[in-house]
């Protein structure tokens, strides 16, 4: 029987090779991990863009709309980019995934000012995964599992035109119940992920979405009281 294992970052490549020799199928594979080690990792500062992709063992691949990541916000799709530019970036990301044998779901972080400059590759905790849970036909986690099991991949089409997510900072004087109560009542469309302290909302008016997320951040932190 073959087992599928999504490895943790701390596992040594030698341990992965041992498992592979025993017939365990490991993702990422030892060969892929060796190639990932040679990719320069840069510290993330300021804005960057996220390209979420999935790829199966039989080279079926998919990509979500590109996301802009700032210090405390994400915007999907990346504002100010043409359809052709977006396709070129996605194709480059998928080509890289094929070259180094990436299987499953991954996030490529690229410099916002230089789309050819790779910052890092995430496969455990992509920074832009939350938005896919509320505004994509197939979310990142479902697609990741499909790819690892070599099942047909789902659609990554957005349901609404835009999604904005924001990081939440807790008011030290609050138990968080009151801000959740207020914000959910004020805007039932807001979505929260307490495990990563983020709020998100999707819709077709980007300016309104930004206003709602920034208000939620300010109220949650205690910066404003209404």
Q: Are strands 118-122 and 104-111 parallel, antiparallel or unpaired?
A: antiparallel
Q: Is the pLDDT of residue 218 over 90?
A: yes
Condensed to tens digits (0 to 9), the pLDDT of residues 68-84 reads 999 899 999 999 999 99
197 in any annotated domain: yes
Of the residues 148, 174, 193, the one at which a domain ends: 148
pLDDT band at 2 (very low <50, low <70, confident <90, very high): very low
DSSP 46: S
Give the separation between CA 55 and CA 60, rounded to whole angstroms: 6
Asked if residue 77 has a cis previous peptide bond (ω within 30° of 0), the answer is: yes
Provide mean pLDDT across the span 118-144.
Answer: 91
Whether the per-residue pLDDT at 126 is higher than 60: the answer is yes
Q: Classify residue 43: in a domain, yes or no.
A: no
Q: Is 198 helix (H, G, I), strand (E, B) or coil?
A: strand
Residues in CB range of 193: below 8 A, 6 or more apart: 130, 133, 200
Tell me the C-alpha distance between 171 and 225, whole Å.
Answer: 11
pLDDT for the residue 18: 83
pTM of the predicted structure, to 2 decimals: 0.85
Instruction: Check residues 207 and 30 and name the one with the higher pLDDT.
Output: 207
Residue 5's pLDDT is what? 46
Task: Tell me: do 131 and 178 sit in the same domain.
Answer: no
Burial class (CB in 10 A: 0-12, 13-18, 19+), 126: buried
Which residue, of 119, 148, 177, is where some domain finishes? Answer: 148
Domain co-membership, 142 together with 53 = yes
On whether residue 155 sits in a domain, the answer given is no
As for how many domains the chain has, the answer is 3
Residue 106 located in a structural domain: yes
* 190 inside domain: yes
Domain limits for position 105: 48-148
Examine the domain organization and report whether 68 and 125 are in the same domain: yes
Query: What is the residue-averaged pLDDT of the chain?
Result: 88
**Residues 87, 143 within the same domain:** yes
Long-range contact pairs involving 202-207 (C-beta distance under 8 Å, separation at least 24): 202/131, 202/134, 202/135, 202/158, 202/159, 202/160, 202/162, 202/163, 202/164, 203/160, 203/161, 203/162, 204/160, 204/161, 204/162, 205/162, 206/75, 206/79, 206/161, 206/162, 206/164
Q: Are residues 32 and 57 in the same domain?
A: no
| Cα–Cα distance for residue pair 142/64, rounded to 1 Å | 13
> Has residue 40 got a pLDDT over 90?
no
Residue 186 sits in the same domain as residue 128 = no
Of 111-115, 128-132, 139-143, 188-192, the one with minimum mean pLDDT is 111-115
Domain presence at residue 153: no
Longest Cα–Cα distance in the chain: 60
In this prediction, residue 44 carries a pLDDT of 57
144 and 91 assigned to the same domain? yes
Instruction: Examine the domain organization and report whether 17 and 98 are in the same domain.
Output: no
| Residue position matching structure tokens 């052709």 | 84
Reference 49, options 30, 32, 31, 65; nearest CA is 65
């Amino acid at each position: 029987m073959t087992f599928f294992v999504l490895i943790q970052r701390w596992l040594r490549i030698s341990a992965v090779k041992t498992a592979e020799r025993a017939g365990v199928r490991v993702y990422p594979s030892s060969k892929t991990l060796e190639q990932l080690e040679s990719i320069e990792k840069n510290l993330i500062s300021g804005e960057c863009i996220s390209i979420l992709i999935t790829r199966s063992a039989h080279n079926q691949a998919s990509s979500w709309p590109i996301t802009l990541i700032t210090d405390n916000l994400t915007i999907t799709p990346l504002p100010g980019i043409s359809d052709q530019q977006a396709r070129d970036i996605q194709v480059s990301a998928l080509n890289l995934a094929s070259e180094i044998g990436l299987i499953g779901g991954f996030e490529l972080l690229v410099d916002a000012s230089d789309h050819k400059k790779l910052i890092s590759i995430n496969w455990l905790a992509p920074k832009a995964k939350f938005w896919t849970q509320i505004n994509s036909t197939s979310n990142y986690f479902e697609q990741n599992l499909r790819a690892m099991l070599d099942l047909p991949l789902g659609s990554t089409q957005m349901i609404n035109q835009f999604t904005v997510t924001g990081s939440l900072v807790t008011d030290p004087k609050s138990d968080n119940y009151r801000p959740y109560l207020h914000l959910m009542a004020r805007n039932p469309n807001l979505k929260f992920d307490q495990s990563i302290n983020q709020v998100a909302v999707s819709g077709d008016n980007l300016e309104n979405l930004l206003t709602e997320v920034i208000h939620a951040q300010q109220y949650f932190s205690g910066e404003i009281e209404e």
